[in-house]
Amino acid sequence: MSERIQDIANKMVAEGKGILAADESTETIKKRFDTIGLESTEENRRDYREMLFRAEATAETVSGVILFDETLRQSARDGTPFTKVLAEAGAIPGIKVDQGAKDLALSPGEKVTEGLTGLRERLKEYYELGARFAKWRAVITIDGDLPSWNCVKANAHALARYAALCQENGIVPIVEPEVLMDGDKARHGIDRCYDVTLWALNTVFDELYDASVALDGIILKPNMVVPGQKSGEKASVEEVAEKTVRCLKEAVPSAVPGIAFLSGGQSDELATAHLSAMNAMDTLPWKLTFSYGRALQAAALSAWGGKRENEAAGQRAFNHRARMNALAATGKWSEAEEKKVA
């Protein structure tokens, strides 16, 4: 393994670039395809992802792509392995390795992410297939008195064990503790989100330290500090940016090279605006960028509609969204830029 994980991590947060999350499970991509009336076959999934991977903006603005197991093993229509397609575009192939969030024993309403069994062996195979980073998502729900200490601790511990196994195998771990934004109606305002996010991040970094994980060889993928969608509370772009950065400064060591946000159900444009506002603030100790899935893909999926003759339209929609987020990653996005013709 000649590549240093620190070098890979820094490439993943290169200036003006971000990460495309294209790791939807077969079940999730089916739900996306259902919205355009398209059957979720292996061929259709391949065609959709090839459209994204060969878009102009992938080479311009994407530093890495998180893949699903099936996609990592697939080739484009012309027979070129997707790992080579991405490498030629300058994007690092990554892989989702968790096996989903399952019910947490004795903690009703809460989840813990599973997938540690056999992970070392799977990582070795994924490395040979070309993956150089991985992703593991933990989910934390705000609902009444939740989250519990059991949930926060169990998920943080699993994230640390996963991260250590990744680094052992020359793979950069994306560490993703997501505080969901769709929790309790009455008790999920922005301040409650701040407190729970800070708690989760502090616990995760304690566990990473205990597991001897090299912090300069990880990428953090957190939620932004936003009010819950059911809370009825509104927050300005500036408030979200200020509170998110303040929370990160309290919890995230400066050794971490970069933070790639998930969009977490925000609208495409709002996720972009929040990211840009954070990057327009004072100098920060880490790079802030995007690791979006739906917020990068929704417009492209709609424009494509599952039809080969619409591939160019789908790519134009993706190019626009990716370029807007590239601007946001340098704090230079604006509504005027957003309104330019894709």
Domains of the chain: 5-338 (3.20.20.70)
- Per the prediction, the chain carries an average pLDDT of 96
Strands 219-220 and 111-113: unpaired
Residue type, 225: V
**pLDDT top residue among 280 and 282:** 280
Mean pLDDT of 245-267: 97
Q: Are 260 and 222 in contact (CB under 8 A)?
A: no
Mean pLDDT of 177-185: 84
Mean pLDDT of 212-241: 95
pLDDT computed for residue 184 by the predictor: 60
Please provide the distance, in angstroms rounded to a whole number, between the alpha carbons at the two ends of the chain: 41
Distance CA 75, CA 80 (A): 5
Query: What angle do the packed helices 268-279 and 237-251 form, to 10 degrees?
Result: 60
**Contacts of residue 1, Cβ cutoff 8 Å, sequence gap at least 6:** 127, 169, 170
Helix or strand run (H / E) with residue 162: helix 149-168
Q: Are 76 and 46 in contact (CB under 8 A)?
A: yes
Phi, psi of 327 (to 5 degrees): -65, -40
pLDDT computed for residue 182 by the predictor: 83
Give residue for tokens 């398209």: 38
Distance CA 151, CA 197 (A): 13
What pTM does this model have?
0.97
pLDDT at 13 over 90: yes
Distance CA 36, CA 31 (A): 9
pLDDT computed for residue 341 by the predictor: 62
Of 69-78, 167-176, 227-236, 325-334, which gets the smallest average pLDDT?
227-236
pLDDT at 188 over 90: no
Is the omega angle on the peptide bond into residue 147 within 30 degrees of 0, that is, cis? Answer: yes
Give residue for tokens 């503790």: 177
Per the DSSP assignment, residues forming a β-bridge with 67 are: 22, 95
Distance CA 245, CA 257 (A): 15
Q: 117 is written with which tokens? A: 């069994």
Distance CA 162, CA 52 (A): 28
Kindly name the residue from 11, 17, 111, 221 that is annotated as catalytic.
221
Kindly name the residue from 110, 176, 178, 207 that is annotated as catalytic.
176
221 is catalytic: yes
pLDDT computed for residue 282 by the predictor: 81
Q: Are 8 and 172 in contact (CB under 8 A)?
A: yes
Burial annotation 136-153 (CB, 10 A radius, 16+ → b, else e): bbbbbbbbeebbbeebbe
pLDDT tier at 130, thresholds 50, 70, 90: very high
pLDDT at 342 over 80: no
Is the four-CA dihedral 27, 222, 297, 188 of positive or negative sign?
Answer: positive
HSE of 72, CA atoms in CB hemisphere, 13 A = 28
Mean pLDDT of 198-214: 98
pLDDT computed for residue 231 by the predictor: 82
**Contacts of residue 30, Cβ cutoff 8 Å, sequence gap at least 6:** 40
**Contacts of residue 305, Cβ cutoff 8 Å, sequence gap at least 6:** 36, 38, 314
